[in-house]
Structures are given as C-alpha cells and as structure tokens.
Copies of this chain bind each other. A is one copy, B any other.
Amino acid sequence: MTNKKEIIASIIIIGNEVLSGRTKDLNTSAISMWLNSIGISVQEVRVIPDIEKIIIATVNELRKKFDYVFTTGGIGPTHDDITAISISKAFNLKYDFHKEAFSILENYYEPGKFNEGRQKMAKMPTTANLILNPSSGAPGFYVENVFCLPGVPSILKSMLGGLNNVLIGGDPILSKTINLRTYESEIAESLTNVQNNNQDVEIGSYPFFRQGKLGVSIVLRSVDKNKIDNCNLQILEFVKAKNIKLVEID
C-alpha cells in the first residue's frame, strides 16, 4: 500500500470465555486502533483456548510471520492463567519470579497481603521486559517481539501508551468514513471503479442498520492523506450523480 515497509502485527486472544461466547472481545478493537495510530497494521487475530501446547504453537507460528505479536489474557493469579509459563516454554526461557515484577507487586500490596496467588503474577520468563500497569499493579511483559497483556479491557487500555516508545511503527494509518443512505447494490459498480482507479487506498463497504434505517458506510484507509482525499472526491462525485443522501452516524 506504500513504498515504505508495512509494519504488521497479529493479536492472540487467549481465553475460553471468548470461545464460549460468554465474553465479547473488546481488546482487538483497542489494540488495533492504537496500533493504527502509530503506523502498525493488524493483519490477523486468533482466539485460542487456555491450553498450553496451543498457546506455544500459536505464538511460535505468528512471531515468525509478523513484526509484532500481542497476546491478551491469562496473566492473572488463577489456575487457568497459563500465558506466562507458555511464553517461557515457547522461547525456551526460565519461568520463575521476575525480580523487578516481584518488587513492584510487593510494594503495591499492603504488608501481609502479598499472598501466594498474587506472587504468581510475578512469575514469567525471568529475562522478560516489563510492561507497566498503572491500573492494578501486576505488570505485563514482552520477550523479543511478543507482548503479553492482561485480558480485562480497561486495564489493557491503560497499559498500551507505555509501549509507544518501544514499538517501531510506520506512517500512521489514516481513515475516512462516508455514510450514505443507500443500499450496497446501488453503489457496487461505481465503487468498484473507484477502487480500480485507487489501488493504494483500501476501500471497505459496510451496510448498517441504525434507528430502523438502512445505510452504507464506505471506509477509506491509507497512509497518504492526499490519496484518501482524492478517492473521497471521486466517491462524492458518483454519490451526487446518483442523488444519494449523505448521513451522519456515530
């Protein structure tokens, strides 16, 4: 899409609760939007169960294919939190108390409250780098290009900013959305023409239903603002010619 090397990432959501349908994944959206803003594009997401050999195999497959891999979930104190030990095994690193993590957690809790369960959260590859957690103490960590974050969306979000200076991104990926009161089939042919004339802009078309009304959101994505603007003009041209109404949605 650009002359610069595209920096690509994948996300591994570790959690039976997403596979069972109990929990809707909100972390993909948070991580992807943040990565877009620093010029990294998410190309694959996998949701996998809390099973050690599957975590190890998935991490080892994806860390070779992508510049960055982010995992979410499984770094808490309970028996089903097995991300840290799985990552240790994936990288063949010693799994034990991480000195800095231990000391952060020891200071975080009141005297006498740093029990065995909480101490488990300081166990990880002993040579990992920490990802500080401004919300609830327990740090995430990274090894090479694999970044391990918690599963609770509010805590995860609070930790992303701390990685801005660690990741090397490209140009921010910009986007523009045009919302139309129409059907996809009414604009399909014109939109294909615009896409053919603008290969450097990714054009997505998404039907929506809001407040009982149908419409289509057209989303333009590129690292080049001029190319997005050009593409936008070409779309507004056929929208006007077809007498289609532009609408505002959130």
Point out the residues of chain B lying under 8 angstroms from A118, CB to CB: 185
A191 within 8 A of B: yes
Q: Choose from B25, B49, B116, B120 the contact partner of A25 (Cβ within 8 Å).
A: B25
Beta-carbon nearest neighbor of A115 in chain B = B185
User: Given A42-B20, A188-B117, is A195 in contact with B30 using a C-beta cutoff of 8 Å?
Assistant: no
Q: Are B184 and A117 touching (Cβ within 8 A)?
A: yes
A207 in contact (CB, < 8 A): yes
Total contacting residues, chain A, CB less than 8 A: 64
A101 to B129, CA, bound (A): 55
Given A17-B204, A25-B24, A26-B24, CB of A78 within 8 Å of CB of B42: no
| CB nearest neighbor in B for A135 | B209
The docked-state distance in angstroms from the alpha carbon of A76 to that of B19 is 26
Contact with B along A3-37 (1 / 0, CB 8 A): 00000000001001111111111101111110010
Does B17 contact A206, Cβ atoms closer than 8 Å? yes
Contact present for B42 and A19 (CB under 8 Å): yes
Cβ B16 vs Cβ A21 within 8 A: no
**At the interface, yes or no: A100 with Cβ under 8 Å from chain B?**
no
Q: Find the B residue at minimum CB distance from A47.
A: B45
Give CA–CA (A19, B221) in the complex, Å. Answer: 12
Q: Does A244 contact B (CB under 8 A)?
A: no
Are A21 and B25 in contact, with the CB atoms below 8 A? Answer: no
Let me know if A46 is at the binding interface, CB within 8 A: yes
Minimum C-beta distance from A239 to chain B (A):
14
Give the one of A13, A16, A26 with max B CB within 10 A. Answer: A16
> Which residue of the partner chain B has the closest CB to A13?
B45
